Structure 1
Amino acid sequence: MPFTLHFGEADLLRCRFALSPLWETHEAVRTLARPERHGYHLPWLRRLRGALAADDGLDFTPLLLLMPRRGHNPDCLYPPPIGPAATFEEEIARVRTTDPELARDDLARALADAGTTDRPEARAMLADPARALRELAALIERAWRTLIAPDWPRLRALLEADIAYHSRRLAEVGLEGLLRELHPRLEWDGTSTLTLDNASSHHRDLDGAGLVLMPSVFSWPDVVSGFDPPWQPTLVYPARGIAGLWSTPSTRTPEALSRLLGRVRAEVLCALDEPASTTALAHRLGLAPSSVSAHLSVLRDADLLRSRRYGHQVLYERTPLGIALAAAQAASPPRT
């Protein structure tokens, strides 16, 4: 059944990208409960076993009651993000300031769709939505600290790289072309309507609010849309590059490239398969940020990299010369 979003002229000018640590926290909780997603995140799951075992009081049941496989999820618990530089602290503060009556209706709808309204925990949420918001926000914060925060530099780097890539595609193919590329279940009618092939039927006129486009790691491979008024319409799509997200840094930096540039500098160049920040590269390579920053400056001065600011981050990516050099060296057979 179709899920459709209707654009007016103003909406076409008000589409923007964003990322959300709060959304990733919710989707990480959902991933723990859905074995069909585990294959994408096995190294992360293995690392988590110890952390979850050490905190045996951490129970995600209240959140899982509000996560139907099909149907409404409570927008009040993960409102559309502020922008590409939103922090978890900013986002959870918005959850805590939600009107309890608005939250009650939101929670009731999600519980009904999940078929969990008769659970004692569900009845308690609806009887006192203000308290429910406080307790759910506290649980979400614990989930953030345990599931996401230790890996957030890596996750954020991948999400920012996705936004940088799709921003370039927007400039190259326009909004219509970009929307078609985000996911095979999305279809643009060529004039004003975006359709998502979905299990539920829904239509929303954007009415000048525009559309937030948000990549996600833990929603992968699904595409999600929704967010009823007063929330801004949002389309969550699977981020590019998760195949290498949890991989360890390659130890096979070409020897010839290491002799040419120096070992660490060559590793920095080879690590930039996708745009990344200094902090993300330092985390990925196990190096001090100051050391990575110095190498990035040299590579940029040699026209092997370019940099640009995105939100609060400076992202680095290879130039055509840098791509050619890394690719040629990687393809070169070892000397005998």
Structure 2
Amino acid sequence: MLELAWSADELARTRLAFSPLWEIVASVRVLARPGEHALHLPWVRKASGALAEAGIDVSPLADLVAGRSVPRFLTPTPASPVPQLADELADLRDVAPRAVRRELEAMEPPRSAALTRLHRDPEAGLDRLAGLMERYWAVALAPAWPRMRALLEGDVLHRSRLLAAGAAEDLFHDLAPAVHWAEGALIVAQRLVPAAGAPHGHGLVLAPSVFVWPRVISRTHAGRQPVLRYPARGVAGLWETGGTSSSAALRGVLGRSRSALLTSLTTPADVSELARRTGLKEGVVAKHLQLLCSAGLVATAPDGVHSRTVAADAVVTAAAG
């Protein structure tokens, strides 16, 4: 069990970020054990077929992430709220050979042929590994990334608002069943995690993830910000297709299409994603979004991503009750 005593300073240093590199690592674990991740089976079927068709062998990466603990050089703390995969892979290629060997030697035996090659020549091995991850991303994750990114950005937006309000209880109460707030401490019920009860002065990196579901994963480093990876809000509906069910009360006021759009905006999304969520045509979605924006119920970011306003959240919640 991980227990982090908290203070106002800890909360002030807490930040939110997600990582494309981490999603590669976690998704490979899902492919290796799909029965433990039933929620992602629609993605598993598509990705497995696409990888087979492209002739991409992910076993060198799968060997690295198969154990209970993933090597640290594959799971760096995100340096920015929305890191770019290219930057993360560049950092991976620059990991010191000594650090790679140390992590490999800490893994449970036996060591596969691919890992033996990596241990023998970490610099060349990391370059091969980064190249494999680029190919894997292009085939298995890039087609789904707009949808995934909208989900992750929505979680960051939601918790950023809570963080700005300064209420730790509200920030952590719905992260995951294994995480809870009690008497000034954040408690993560996990095995194989060292306890750390005293405030550490570094805050926390909250990292929403798609493929971490159904678990939470925490990592602590002496002198560094601890990281807590948890399932992003709304992940249960990520791979669903078809319409969105809205309450009868909301439909009575706004109509079927606009109520479906508001209900589906549990996380921010662009027009094409909202069309997928609701089953409406993109032209219809765009028209109704303009009306909802005029009414102050939807806000639109410069990149074309739409989100519910605080007023809309209250309306949807009241109607559902």
Normalised by the size of structure 2, how large is the TM-score? 0.81
1:37 is aligned to 36
1:87 is aligned to 84
The answer on whether the counterparts of 1:303 and 1:319 sit within 8 Å (CA) in structure 2 is no
Shift of 1:294: 5.5
Following the alignment from structure 1 to structure 2, what is the Cα–Cα distance between the partners of residues 294 and 326? 24
Shift of 1:78: 2.7
Counterpart of 2:226 (choices 223, 233, 239) is: 233
Shift of 1:93: 2.0
Following the alignment from structure 2 to structure 1, what is the Cα–Cα distance between the partners of residues 11 and 315? 37
3-state SS in 2 of match to 1:182 = coil
Task: Return closer, same or farther for 1:87/1:293 CA change in 2, 3 Å cut-off.
Answer: farther
1:23 aligns with 2:22: yes
Task: Return closer, same or farther for 1:202/1:326 CA change in 2, 3 Å cut-off.
Answer: closer
The answer on whether the counterparts of 1:277 and 1:313 sit within 8 Å (CA) in structure 2 is yes
3-state SS in 2 of match to 1:41 = helix
Task: Return closer, same or farther for 1:253/1:213 CA change in 2, 3 Å cut-off.
Answer: closer
Task: Return closer, same or farther for 1:147/1:226 CA change in 2, 3 Å cut-off.
Answer: same
Shift of 1:104: 2.4
1:250 is aligned to 243
Post-superposition Cα deviations, 1:211-238, rounded to whole Å, max 9, x if no partner, equal 1101111110101011535864210011
Task: Return closer, same or farther for 1:251/1:275 CA change in 2, 3 Å cut-off.
Answer: closer
1:199 is aligned to 191
The answer on whether the counterparts of 1:154 and 1:245 sit within 8 Å (CA) in structure 2 is yes
Shift of 1:263: 8.0
Following the alignment from structure 2 to structure 1, what is the Cα–Cα distance between the partners of residues 169 and 315? 31
The within-5 A match list for 1:6-85 is: 10-56=9-55, 58-70=56-68, 72-85=69-82
Count, aligned residues: 320
3-state SS in 2 of match to 1:81 = coil
The within-5 A match list for 1:271-310 is: 271-278=264-271, 280-281=273-274, 284=277, 295-307=288-300
Shift of 1:178: 2.5
Counterpart of 2:201 (choices 204, 208, 221) is: 208
Shift of 1:149: 0.8
Residue identity in the other structure for 2:307: Y
Following the alignment from structure 2 to structure 1, what is the Cα–Cα distance between the partners of residues 191 and 201? 26
Following the alignment from structure 1 to structure 2, what is the Cα–Cα distance between the partners of residues 157 and 134? 30
1:334 is aligned to none
RMSD: 3.7
Following the alignment from structure 2 to structure 1, what is the Cα–Cα distance between the partners of residues 152 and 202? 23
The answer on whether the counterparts of 1:29 and 1:143 sit within 8 Å (CA) in structure 2 is no
5+ residue gaps in structure 2? none
Following the alignment from structure 1 to structure 2, what is the Cα–Cα distance between the partners of residues 279 and 91? 28
Following the alignment from structure 1 to structure 2, what is the Cα–Cα distance between the partners of residues 256 and 179? 31
Counterpart of 2:94 (choices 97, 106, 112) is: 97
Shift of 1:48: 2.5
**Percent of residue pairs bearing the same amino acid type:** 39
Shift of 1:206: 7.2
Post-superposition Cα deviations, 1:153-182, rounded to whole Å, max 9, x if no partner, equal 111111122222333444567124423432
3-state SS in 1 of match to 2:269 = coil
Residue identity in the other structure for 2:72: D
Shift of 1:278: 4.5
Residue identity in the other structure for 2:206: L
Task: Return closer, same or farther for 1:7/1:134 CA change in 2, 3 Å cut-off.
Answer: farther
Residue identity in the other structure for 1:138: G
The answer on whether the counterparts of 2:29 and 2:66 sit within 8 Å (CA) in structure 1 is no
Shift of 1:65: 1.8
Shift of 1:32: 0.6
The answer on whether the counterparts of 2:241 and 2:279 sit within 8 Å (CA) in structure 1 is no
The answer on whether the counterparts of 1:269 and 1:326 sit within 8 Å (CA) in structure 2 is no
The answer on whether the counterparts of 1:176 and 1:190 sit within 8 Å (CA) in structure 2 is no
2:110 is aligned to 116
Following the alignment from structure 1 to structure 2, what is the Cα–Cα distance between the partners of residues 40 and 304? 31
Task: Return closer, same or farther for 1:125/1:277 CA change in 2, 3 Å cut-off.
Answer: same
